Amino acid sequence: MAEIKIDHEFKSHPNVFWPAARGEKTFEFRKDDRGGYHVGQTVRLRCYDRGEYVETPPLDRRITNILRPGEFGLQDGYCILSLAPQPGSSVGGDVQGPAPFQQRVDPWLIACFGEEVARDKQERAHRFLEEALELVQAAGCTAHEAHQLVAYVYGRPAGEMAQEVGGVMTTLAAFCLAHGLDMHEAGETELARIWTKVEKIRAKQAAKPKHSPLPEHVAPTPSGDLIQVAREAHVAELIASVTDLLNNSLEHPIGDEYATHPDDNDKRPGDSLGKRLYRSRWMLRYRVRNAFRALQSTRQEEGRRAAAPEGWVLVPQDPTGEMLDAAVKGSRADVSYADVEELWPAMLSASPRHSQEKA
């Protein structure tokens, strides 16, 4: 193929280079400071960003029309060049697209964090989770709802990573459709923005706490606030679950005819209800356990008070045999000793905390 004479070479920012490569932008707005442009000349566009050329093939274009100053209010010293693919050129003759978005994120990652941190799988997981939470927070999702979903997901077996990535992409597309957003445009805009924040991101990374999923140091939260967050996330759902179970039990008491395991093949009358209540009871135990563990991990109170003030009573941390008997015998529902033993810690954790200052 014959060599094409290049009359002018332009540096082209990615925001205008890629639309030109896709055939969406067919003009150049330029200073008329090169001794004059002429129809039929060939210009070469090279992608240029932050002081260096981007490693992608250039575009060769032929000038087909020139709009000069004085025409349609165009400012003196500038011109608009209409461009078309250059026949016979070895580059840029066909409509081209940008490199895949994932590949174009990689240079930014290396520039900000270096090879080691950029490839740290745990760090990448933490930052992905952080951004995902910020997205749903912006859409109105509450901390309570987020905690419910965390408990739900981590109560199931881990999935296969490639499939989960596909699920994330599909769900993000559906999310953007619901909110009237273009996920590709948003990604391009954000990538261009964070390229301008490299130094700031480097400084933040340098100050990041070691061995922590958090992106920065966070002041300790008072233990009461942590307990309140855990209550909102777990105890409200616990109460709803208990209420639902008791309502079902009171309306349809579980007798011997429902005592079979849900996997049994014995098709007795009402077996469907028995299965439903059986699953409900085990889901209740699961939720109680998670609620108690979450509350235990967040409680940072000092030692318990030595004596109970007026209007309060001291109770043991673990229920006694007599307490279990009283709870089971006094219940109108089919509640077992195991149910009470699992409910008791959550009830203690959800109880109000006495303040010595108010006593």
Integer Rg of the chain from CA: 33
Tens of pLDDT, residue by residue over 97-155, are 556 888 889 888 988 888 898 999 999 999 999 999 999 999 999 988 998 899 889 88
> In whole angstroms, what is the distance from residue 169 CA to residue 304 CA?
49
Ranges of each domain in the chain: 8-85, 101-206, 223-350
Dihedral of CA atoms 89, 95, 100, 103 in degrees, nearest 10, equals 20
> Token digits for 125?
């997981």
Mean of pLDDT over the chain: 75
Task: Calculate the CA 270 to chain-centre distance.
Answer: 43
> Token digits for 289?
């356990």
Per DSSP, the chain holds a count of helices (H) and strands (E) of 12, 6
Mean pLDDT within 200-224: 73
pLDDT of residue 269: 46
> In whole angstroms, what is the distance from residue 17 CA to residue 306 CA?
73
Q: Which residues pair with 293 in a beta bridge?
A: none
Tens of pLDDT, residue by residue over 147-195, are 889 988 988 899 999 999 999 999 999 999 999 999 998 998 998 899 8
Mean pLDDT within 303-329: 65
> In whole angstroms, what is the distance from residue 25 CA to residue 17 CA?
8
**The overall pTM is greater than 0.85:** no
Give the CATH number of domain 8-85: 2.30.130.30
Q: b/e map of 180-194 (b: 16 or more CB within 10 Å)?
A: eeeeeeeebeeeeee
